[in-house]
Amino acid sequence: MKRLEGQRALVTGGTRGIGRAIAARLADEGAEVFLTGRRRDQADEAAAAIDGGRSRVLGLALDLTDPGSVLACLGEAAVGGLDILVNNAGISRDGLLIRQKPEDWRAVMATNLDGLAACCRAAVRPMLRARYGRIVNMSSIVGLRGNAGQTAYAASKAGIVGFSRALAKELARRNITVNVVAPGLIETDMTRELPRRAREALQRAIPMARPGSAEEVAAAVAFLASPEASYITGAVLEITGGLAL
Ligand code: NAD
């Protein structure tokens, strides 16, 4: 029997990058997976591409900055129960603080923190009823160590750590775990947008001397999302090839 057989999972931001790899990995391990995209057609397309139309992976529309959209999405995903929530979706708006526009700060917080908290709030109800749940939240090494030009992103990702540890304590007695993964430099569209010099500097600082892959992050998430990780909660797992910014 596969490790996640009979489990139902929701992965936010699953149309590309790390989220897509997580959705594929959870499905491979036997879970029924909902993946979200900001547009339903993009989510459906990614879902079909992952499982070849076998309907084990389904698309849902989600805009984290819209509380109504969060409730509708989680409501649909939780019909029949929700065992696993992976809060993967996130954005960055980089630039030095001195030049930062207030709307960029707000956009990062609204997506990375407000949206993530709203998803957890909506998912916890069915998990409490089932007395079982696995929540995995996507932070970043930048949230733990900071990075020049990324104050908003770092603050939001550090916020996710505090939020997750507090929620882990709220839910520990109900058999619901809340953990955080903090990747370093992972090869995706988000990091391809980094200026070449910033990328090279980052890569030099990685003891393993290479970026990680989305699949390497997905493997760690799948473990934390599995019944096997039953005594791990409030943990922050760094997936960085040894990088310490
Ligand atoms: P990506 O930009 O490829 O994917 C981000 C996903 O979030 C997309 O699917 C996008 O549609 C979704 N998203 C953005 N805004 C949204 C909104 N308002 N509502 C709903 N969905 C929204 O990024 P990625 O590199 O795959 O990163 C995924 C996660 O991993 C992010 O939280 C990111 O901060 C984190 N992370 C990435 C790296 C890296 O090196 N790539 C490192 C550390 C952490």
Q: Which DSSP helix (H) or strand (E) runs through 67?
A: helix 67-77
Label residue 27 by pLDDT band (50, 70, 90).
Answer: very high
Residue closest via CA to ligand 1's atom 38 equals 186
From the CA of 173, how far away is ligand 1's center (Å)?
A: 31
Ligand 1 within 6 A of CB of 212? no
Ligand 1 within 6 A of CB of 77? no
User: What number is the average pLDDT over the span 67-93?
Assistant: 97
The answer to whether residue 154 scores a pLDDT higher than 80 is yes
User: What number is the average pLDDT over the span 200-225?
Assistant: 93
Cβ atoms 159, 151 nearer than 8 A: no
Q: Helix 116-130 crosses helix 67-77 at what angle (to 10 degrees)?
A: 30
Label residue 245 by pLDDT band (50, 70, 90).
Answer: low
Label residue 54 by pLDDT band (50, 70, 90).
Answer: confident
The answer to whether residue 138 scores a pLDDT higher than 70 is yes
- Show which residues are catalytic: 153
Percent of the chain with pLDDT over 70: 100
CA atoms of 137 and 158, how far apart (whole Å):
11
CA atoms of 177 and 243, how far apart (whole Å):
26
Residue closest via CA to ligand 1's atom 20 equals 63
pLDDT in the model for residue 60: 98
Label residue 200 by pLDDT band (50, 70, 90).
Answer: confident
pLDDT in the model for residue 113: 98
From the CA of 221, how far away is ligand 1's center (Å)?
A: 15
Closest-lying ligand 1 atom to the alpha carbon of residue 12: 21
pLDDT in the model for residue 199: 78
Residue closest via CA to ligand 1's atom 11 equals 13
The answer to whether residue 193 scores a pLDDT higher than 90 is no
Ligand 1 within 6 A of CB of 44? no
Query: CB under 8 Å to 215, separation ≥6 — which residues?
Result: 21, 25
From the CA of 193, how far away is ligand 1's center (Å)?
A: 12
Other C-beta atoms lying within 10 Å of the C-beta of residue 198: 16
To test the ligand 1 pocket, which listed residue (11, 137, 190, 221) has its Cβ within 8 A of the most ligand atoms? 190
pLDDT in the model for residue 55: 79
Other C-beta atoms lying within 10 Å of the C-beta of residue 190: 14
The closest alpha carbon to 229, from 32, 3, 1, belongs to 3
Question: Which amino acid does the sequence have at 211?
Answer: P
Ligand 1 within 6 A of CB of 151? no
Label residue 192 by pLDDT band (50, 70, 90).
Answer: confident
Look over the chain and give the mean of its residue pLDDT values, rounded to a whole number.
95
Ligand 1 within 6 A of CB of 17? yes
From the CA of 189, how far away is ligand 1's center (Å)?
A: 9
**pTM of model > 0.95:** yes
Label residue 198 by pLDDT band (50, 70, 90).
Answer: confident
Q: CA gyration radius for the chain? A: 17
